[in-house]
C-alpha cells in the first residue's frame, strides 16, 4: 500500500483519525475534551486566547493560512458554504488565524454541519472497540521488529500497545505523525457553540471507527510503520498546500490516478461512497440556506468530490475570494 492512502486517512478523510481518545470521552467539558487543541472551550478561559488578538493575530492569519478552502452555493433562502478542514498538523493554528472570509461565513450562518460529534461516545464502549479479542496480539500480527518500532514511534508501553486493534494503533501513530496543532473541526465547533448555532452531524463516531476498521489491518499498519518517514514528508506537503489554500495541489497529491486504480475500493469507502451520501443531505440544506459545512478537505477536492457531485446535479459552486467573503472567483 502506498503512503498516500495513510496520509489521506490521517489528515483529510476522517475527523476521528485526528483526535485522541480523550476527545471522544468528554461530553460536558469542551475545554478539556480536545487535548491537542488551543481553542477556548470554557468562557472563563477566554482571556488566555484573547490577549494576542491584535497585531500577532494579523501576522498569524497571513503566515499560517494564506487562503481558506471555502466555496459557496447560493440557495433560495441564503448561501451554503463548504469549508475544508484539516485534523491537526499546523502549529499555533487558531480560528483567528484563518482569513476573514471563512470566519465571516461561519458567523453569518445559522446552521453548522460537521462530520461527527466526537463528544457523543461512550468511554467504555470506545475502549472495548479499540481492544483486540482475548488471545490476540498486535505484536504477533506485526512481527517483533515492526511492533518495537511502533512502540518507539508512539511512546506507548508495549504491554498496552499489544492489546490494541490495528486501527487503534494506527490512530495513535497518526497523531504522533501529525504532531502539534489544533483540529480545525473542533475550532469550528467551538465557535459555533459559543454563538449558539444549530449543529448538524453527517455521521456518527461509530461510523467513522467502522471505516477505520475496514481500512486499516495489520498489513497496512506494518507498512505505515516501515515507511513513516516518507509519509511524514508527504504529510508536510499536503499541510503546506492546505495552508496555501491550493486546492489543485491537494487534489494532485491526494488523488494520484495510479494509486486510485491500484486501490479502488479504499477510495470508494473513504471518499466516493461518503461523498455521495453527504450530497443528498447537503442538497436539502441548500434549500434551507445560511448553512456552514466543515468537512475534511479531501472531500472537497478532486473529480469525485462533494463539490464536483453538487455541480453535476446542477448547483453552481463558486470558490470564495480571499479578499471578500461576498466575492467569488472561478477557482474550484
Mean pLDDT, the chain cut into blocks of 10 residues (332 residues total): 49 58 34 25 30 42 79 96 91 91 97 88 81 95 96 93 93 83 90 97 87 83 87 85 94 80 73 92 95 96 94 96 49 42
Cα–Cα distances (Å) from 101 to 48, 66, 69, 106, 203, in that order, read 24, 12, 10, 9, 26
Q: Domain total for the chain? A: 1
DSSP H helical ranges for the chain: 3-7, 21-25, 30-33, 46-50, 55-64, 100-108, 123-130, 138-142, 144-154, 158-161, 166-178, 184-194, 205-215, 218-226, 228-244, 247-254, 257-262, 264-267, 273-288, 306-312
pLDDT, position 330: 44
pLDDT, position 195: 97
Query: Which domain does 23 fall in, by range?
Result: 3-329
* Model pTM score: 0.79
pLDDT, position 10: 54
182 in Cβ contact with 88 (< 8 Å): yes
The phi, psi pair for 249, rounded to 5°, reads: -65, -45
d(CA 201, CA 102): 19
pLDDT, position 293: 98
pLDDT, position 282: 96
pLDDT, position 44: 30
pLDDT, position 9: 55
Amino acid at each position: 500500500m502506498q503512503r498516500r492512502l495513510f496520509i489521506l486517512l490521517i489528515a483529510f478523510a476522517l475527523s476521528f483519525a485526528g483526535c485522541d481518545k480523550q476527545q471522544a470521552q468528554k461530553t460536558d467539558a469542551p475545554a478539556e475534551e480536545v487535548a491537542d487543541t488551543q481553542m477556548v472551550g470554557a468562557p472563563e478561559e477566554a482571556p488566555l486566547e484573547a490577549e494576542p488578538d491584535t497585531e500577532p493575530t494579523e501576522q498569524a492569519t497571513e503566515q499560517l493560512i494564506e487562503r481558506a478552502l471555502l466555496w459557496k452555493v447560493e440557495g433560495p433562502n441564503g448561501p451554503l458554504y463548504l469549508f475544508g478542514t484539516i485534523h491537526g498538523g499546523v502549529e499555533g493554528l487558531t480560528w483567528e488565524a484563518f482569513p476573514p472570509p471563512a470566519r465571516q461565513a461561519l458567523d453569518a450562518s445559522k446552521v453548522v454541519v460537521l462530520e461527527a460529534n466526537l463528544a457523543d461516545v461512550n468511554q467504555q464502549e470506545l475502549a472495548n472497540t479499540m481492544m483486540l479479542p482475548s488471545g490476540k496480539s498486535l505484536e504477533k500480527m506485526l512481527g517483533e521488529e515492526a511492533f518495537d518500532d511502533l512502540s518507539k514511534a508512539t511512546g506507548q508501553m508495549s504491554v498496552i500497545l499489544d492489546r490494541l486493534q490495528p486501527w487503534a494503533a494506527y490512530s495513535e501513530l497518526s497523531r504522533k505523525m501529525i504532531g502539534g496543532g489544533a483540529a480545525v473541526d473542533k475550532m469550528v465547533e467551538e465557535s459555533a457553540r459559543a454563538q449558539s448555532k444549530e449543529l448538524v452531524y453527517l455521521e456518527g463516531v461509530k461510523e467513522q471507527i467502522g471505516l477505520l476498521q475496514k481500512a486499516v489491518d495489520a498489513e497496512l499498519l506494518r507498512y505505515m510503520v516501515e515507511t513513516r518517514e516518507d509519509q511524514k514528508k508527504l504529510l508536510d506537503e499536503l499541510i503546506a498546500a492546505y495552508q496555501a489554500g491550493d486546492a489543485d495541489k491537494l487534489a494532485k497529491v491526494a488523488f494520484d490516478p495510479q494509486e486510485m486504480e491500484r486501490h479502488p475500493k479504499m477510495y470508494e469507502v473513504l471518499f466516493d461512497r461518503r461523498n455521495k451520501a453527504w450530497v443528498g443531505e447537503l442538497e436539502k440544506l441548500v434549500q434551507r440556506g445560511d448553512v456552514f459545512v466543515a468537512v475534511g478537505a479531501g472531500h472537497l477536492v478532486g473529480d469525485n468530490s462533494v463539490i464536483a457531485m453538487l455541480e453535476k446535479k446542477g448547483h453552481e459552486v463558486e470558490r470564495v475570494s480571499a479578499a471578500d467573503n461576498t466575492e467569488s472567483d472561478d477557482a474550484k
